[in-house]
Structure 1
Amino acid sequence: MSLSPAFLDELRARTSLSALVGKTVKLHKAGREHKGCCPFHNEKTPSFYVNDDKGFYHCFGCSAHGDAIRWMTDQRGLPFIDAVKELAQAAGLDMPAMDKRAAAKAERTKGLVEAMADAAAFFTEQLHGLGGQDARRMLERRGVSAETAKAFGMGFAPDSRRALRTALAEYGDAMLVEAGLLIQVEGKEPYDRFRGRLMIPIRDARGRVIAFGGRILDQGEPKYLNSPDTPLFDKGRTLYNLDRAAPAARKSGRLLVVEGYMDVIALAQAGIHEAVAPLGTALTEHQLERLWRMVEVPVLCFDGDGAGQKAAVRAAHRALPMLAPGRSLRFVTLPAGQDPDDLVKSGGAGAMEALLAATEPLVDRVWAHELAAEPLDTPEQRAGLKRRLGELAATIADPAVRSEYQAEFRRRFDAHFLPQRKPFRPMGNGRQPWRPPVPVTEDAKALRAAGIDRVLAKAVLAGLIRHPAEIARHMEVLGSLRLADGALGRLFEAVVDVALEDAGGSHGALDSGRLVTILARSGFEGIASDLLRADAMPYSFTMAGGDPARAREDLDEAIAILIARPEVDAQLAAATRAMQARFTDEAFERQVALVKERQALEMRLANLCQAHEDARALGSEGN
């Protein structure tokens, strides 16, 4: 079939885009346009606009943009040709004529779709008949309600070689073999592929049954049997539950990928509807692309056993070449020996939500796997790790993302293996030995060494240069901090050294100008001047000519946040690991409390910026 530009333009012209979009999005008239909340990301203030005159929609929040056809493919999840057909039918346009070969293929496909629909109806009928008693008992044991079984169209294939063949005899053996419902062995009569199994229909994005998965009721192999690839079904391009998960994912802004049918079904029964599953194979490039068409960062929730974690790493490696700015994966590590089905049965939806609140980014999963892949005791082994990380980063096609991964892997490698200088430990007031702020965990020390907030650290350093008298007040805290390597770290140590030397001399009070002069002699004039630029930092303590009392108070607050955040991050990571190992109400409450504490620190930091902006605005009004 050939779709000319003229035909597609006519189709767009005949389609009222606001009416099409308005079927699923509440729109309000706004001048010559319509506006509403964007269906492609969560928002409370409308930033999504539809323009009928120009025939496009656009979101100023997430940049979603397209015409009527794009709406059908991105929002409805339809293949391009199906989107065109549906729009053409609604607009009263005849599709261009197909050649004979294409017409025959379309007719055959239509027959296959009808055969699969009738097979699904047959299996459902058998589930509720006398022969389906064992299958119904299995569903009861698995905790699958009758409502859930109905929603997913579950059925039962009798333990017979001819039951389905006889029921669908009108389609003929050839079509049923092509649909994957019968098995043809040369020289013998075809027979039913699925026998004595709980049947789970597999649907395409339009909700049409295109294949089946069958689970054995008792012992036997294979435990799960899927339809073979057919003209309707390509398992490497299909995701189970895509038709139901796509609208739920657009509403929630997230999409989960689990390992199997029963995980999807259990999550849906628990109220988590935005889950899909590959069909017995590792995630393919085509499946990843389908995921990214719905959300930018899908969450992989594979089983906590070794096989599940290997599948997660394979998915991470396969995704690397396809990464783009904003497009990635996150991971959930389930408790050992549990899958999502087990988790929601024992802990309900809350147990799953708790894990989803602490997902792991793709870069963390790749780093952790390579770090644990081989011993790292010798220089050769460490060089091997560096080479593997470099090779993985090099597979990323997008140059910006590739550069970020290369830099991130280098930073982590250096932080993990390079020797660290001993922390600065002054004697305080000369009588009591210095003690670090309490409590300091080993994880917090690691975070301070490699994960300290550089932006906030630069602001604190600028504040100390602007107000040198504060260095002595915070000497104990500052001595416990270890900034990242580089010019900023060297300047930090130089500032502390100057303050210590000056405190032992007879030069009088150390002021900002003299401190900058001393730093300039050591080659720090440029970076110190940059830190003290009037527009460099949005804090009162980094600005010249402000209220000294307010600057001192705000600097105290910034330093408190700087040293508290790594401790909270470490405790949150430990609480998350504990809950993943064993979910309890106490562990969940601990994690929630730490998440709130982390958010409170972020709010305190935001308040520092806002207070400065308010003060500057008042000063401008006074002038």
Structure 2
Amino acid sequence: MSLSPAFLDELRARTSLSALIGKTTKLQKAGREMRGCCPFHNEKTPSFYVNDDKGFYHCFGCSAHGDAIRWMTDQRGLPFMDAVKELAQTAGMELPAMDRQSAAKAERAKGLHEAMTDAATWFTEQLNGLAGTEARALLDRRGISAETARTFDMGFAPDSRGKLKTALKDYGDPMLVESGMLIQVEGKEPYDRFRGRLMIPIRDARGRTIAFGGRILDQGEPKYLNSPDTPLFDKGRTLYNLDRAAPAARKADRVLVVEGYMDVIALAQAGIGEAVAPLGTALTEHQLERLWRISDVPILCFDGDAAGQKAALRAAHRALPMLAPGRSLSFVTLPQGQDPDDLVKAGGAAAMEKLLAEPQPLVDRLWQAELAAEPLDTPEQRAGLKRRLGELAAGIADASVRSEYQSDFRRRCDTHFTPQRKPFVPFQRGKQPWRPGPAITSGPVTSEAKAVRDSGIDPVLAKAVLAGLIRHPAEIARHMEVLGSLRLADGALGRLFEAVVDLALEDKRKANALDSAHLVTILARSGFGEVATDLLRADAMPYTFTQRLGDEARAREDLDEAIAILIARPEVDAQLAQATQAMQTRFTDEAFERQVALVKEKQALEMRLANLCQSNEDARSLGSEGN
């Protein structure tokens, strides 16, 4: 079928835009135009205008703009041809003639639509009559009100093999079989497909009944039964409740995907009308495209059980190749053992809104799934994780999104598998410096442990810290009391350290800004010039804070960490010595666990120190790349 510009112009001219929009949006006269609150975004002050003379609408808040056809495709979510057909029918216009084959197909579809409409009406009559007593009791048990049942045109199929067939006999068995309402078995009479079930009509985007879902009233299998695929119904392209959810979703600026139509109905009854559901299948590419026409980031709300999480992950993988800038998915996981129906019954809409307030981005869902897929204890297993993540990212068609995912996965792996140093907390007056946990063995400190503590701090690390303090004098005041508790084993270094601290204190009292060059000059007058200069020449020291050039913020952070390690190591060594001596005296499980814990704490300190060296290597590498 070919639609000429002249036909489309005539269609727009015959359509009262304000009447069309006024069916779902409250409009008021405003001069020669109509005005109301925009249906495309939430607002309290009207900024949405409809001009019948010019045949367009415009929102000054969100810039939504279009004509009658655009309204049907954007606000109603209809495909272009369906929008044109519906507007033409309302305007009393005949569509351009179709070829013979298309015309026959359209006539056939018209008959099927009428049959499905009559079937829906008959099912509703059964629900409201004597035969529907048990079905109404089920609705009552499920907390579904009579008003909600009417809104969704719910019905009931009696437990009979021929009552629907008789009621719709004028359509003939072949058409009813084609519509999916009857089952044809070779050599036997066709019989009703739905028997003894609560009936839920499934509609297309134009609101026409195209299929049914039936829920069994008592025990039995299958619990839910959908119509088969027919000329009207393709379950892989259909989303339950799309016709009602699309306008609500545009107003709420979100669309929710839940697992089944009973969840959709329960949410709608609670006031959340922007939910849709697939029909017994995993989300397909066609359904995802339909969702993205409504919202850039649909929210998938699946159950917290294994089946629900598996369905969420399948949807995530299926969406990956189709991602585009700004277009993605997000996820909400419901509490274990609950679906949206259970949740809103227990806590109302507020319980659901609380979960919806913090949806999980697609990239987080993929990362968590792969992280939990296999153990990550060996290099080979970690390499496997990186390979799987790389394959996921490689499947994204859009080059810019693919590059972002590759970078994001690399950053996550680097962060996850790089030992994290403990943040240094500067000492504050009135608080004790860092100490390891108390020794489990009670009693006085042993002579061996006392000797370890009295031996003082590591002189090599002490030299590096002293050099760092001379490079960054402003850091001295931040750690004054912590540094005052250090015991330097080397006499010359100890005297230099005391001089540096005294100068910093004097400078603080004078409110001067002590810089490195000024500090060295004053130290030279006190006889420490040579040793201070030697320390500042120590570019061979493998720390960022001893280097003459580099990232100032990074150097200060690394100096904080070095001071923390400098303080902690003697204490850990002393307590480890005491725990070891206690073990040699008398073995107990408690003493052994304490010794193991202290060994791990010592190893952690060594790892933190190694990280400081690596920090310097990283800084040098970045500097080389920059040059």
TM-score by length of 1: 0.68
Give the whole-Å Cα distance in 2 for the aligned partners of 1:24 and 1:169.
37
Taking a change above 3 Å as real, the CA distance of residues 176 and 45 of structure 1, as seen in their structure-2 partners, is same
Instruction: Name the structure 1 match of 2:125.
Output: 125
Q: Does 1:232 align with 2:200?
A: no
Instruction: Name the structure 2 match of 1:2.
Output: 2
Taking a change above 3 Å as real, the CA distance of residues 304 and 12 of structure 1, as seen in their structure-2 partners, is same
Map 1:261-410 onto structure 2 (within 5 A): 261-410=261-410
Map 1:40-439 onto structure 2 (within 5 A): 40-44=40-44, 48=48, 57=57, 59=59, 62=62, 64-91=64-91, 93-428=93-428, 432-433=432-433
Give the partner amino acid of 1:373: A
Bigger shift: residues 382-391 or 58-67: 58-67
Task: Check conservation: 1:240, 1:279, Cα contact below 8 A.
Answer: yes
Deviation at 1:99, TM superposition (A): 1.5
Identity %: 77
Unaligned runs of 5+ in 2: 437-471, 481-496, 520-535, 537-544, 555-627
Task: Check conservation: 2:159, 2:195, Cα contact below 8 A.
Answer: yes
Taking a change above 3 Å as real, the CA distance of residues 377 and 501 of structure 1, as seen in their structure-2 partners, is farther
- The CA RMSD over aligned residues, in Å, is 3.6
Give the partner amino acid of 1:320: L
Taking a change above 3 Å as real, the CA distance of residues 30 and 120 of structure 1, as seen in their structure-2 partners, is closer
Task: Check conservation: 2:162, 2:192, Cα contact below 8 A.
Answer: yes
Instruction: Name the structure 2 match of 1:621.
Output: none
Taking a change above 3 Å as real, the CA distance of residues 55 and 421 of structure 1, as seen in their structure-2 partners, is same
Deviation at 1:90, TM superposition (A): 4.6
Map 1:491-530 onto structure 2 (within 5 A): 504=501, 506=503, 508=507, 511=513, 522-524=548-550
Give the whole-Å Cα distance in 1 for the aligned partners of 2:204 and 2:150.
18
Instruction: Name the structure 2 match of 1:547.
Output: none
Give the partner amino acid of 1:375: P
Taking a change above 3 Å as real, the CA distance of residues 165 and 90 of structure 1, as seen in their structure-2 partners, is closer
Task: Check conservation: 1:199, 1:212, Cα contact below 8 A.
Answer: yes
Deviation at 1:41, TM superposition (A): 2.3
Taking a change above 3 Å as real, the CA distance of residues 256 and 502 of structure 1, as seen in their structure-2 partners, is farther
Bigger shift: residues 398-407 or 84-93: 84-93
Give the whole-Å Cα distance in 1 for the aligned partners of 2:93 and 2:546.
76
Give the partner amino acid of 2:261: Y
Bigger shift: residues 137-146 or 53-62: 53-62
Give the partner amino acid of 1:321: P
Task: Check conservation: 2:249, 2:255, Cα contact below 8 A.
Answer: yes
Q: Deviations over 1:261-317 (max 9, x none)?
A: 211122222222221111000111111122222222222111121101111111111
Deviation at 1:105, TM superposition (A): 1.2
Task: Check conservation: 1:330, 1:360, Cα contact below 8 A.
Answer: yes
Task: Check conservation: 2:329, 2:361, Cα contact below 8 A.
Answer: yes
Give the whole-Å Cα distance in 2 for the aligned partners of 1:307 and 1:39.
36
Give the whole-Å Cα distance in 2 for the aligned partners of 1:526 and 1:201.
67
Map 1:444-459 onto structure 2 (within 5 A): none
Deviation at 1:356, TM superposition (A): 1.8
Deviation at 1:43, TM superposition (A): 3.3
Instruction: Name the structure 2 match of 1:439.
Output: none
Give the whole-Å Cα distance in 2 for the aligned partners of 1:339 and 1:113.
33
Task: Check conservation: 2:476, 2:501, Cα contact below 8 A.
Answer: no
Task: Check conservation: 1:428, 1:434, Cα contact below 8 A.
Answer: no
Task: Check conservation: 2:427, 2:479, Cα contact below 8 A.
Answer: no
Q: Deviations over 1:426-461 (max 9, x none)?
A: 55569831599xxxxxxxxxxxxxxxxxxxxxxxxx
Q: Secondary structure at the match of 2:303?
A: coil
Which structure has the greater CA radius of gyration? 2
Q: Secondary structure at the match of 1:301?
A: strand
Task: Check conservation: 1:426, 1:434, Cα contact below 8 A.
Answer: no
Give the whole-Å Cα distance in 1 for the aligned partners of 2:238 and 2:498.
69
Give the whole-Å Cα distance in 1 for the aligned partners of 2:91 and 2:498.
83
Deviation at 1:190, TM superposition (A): 1.0
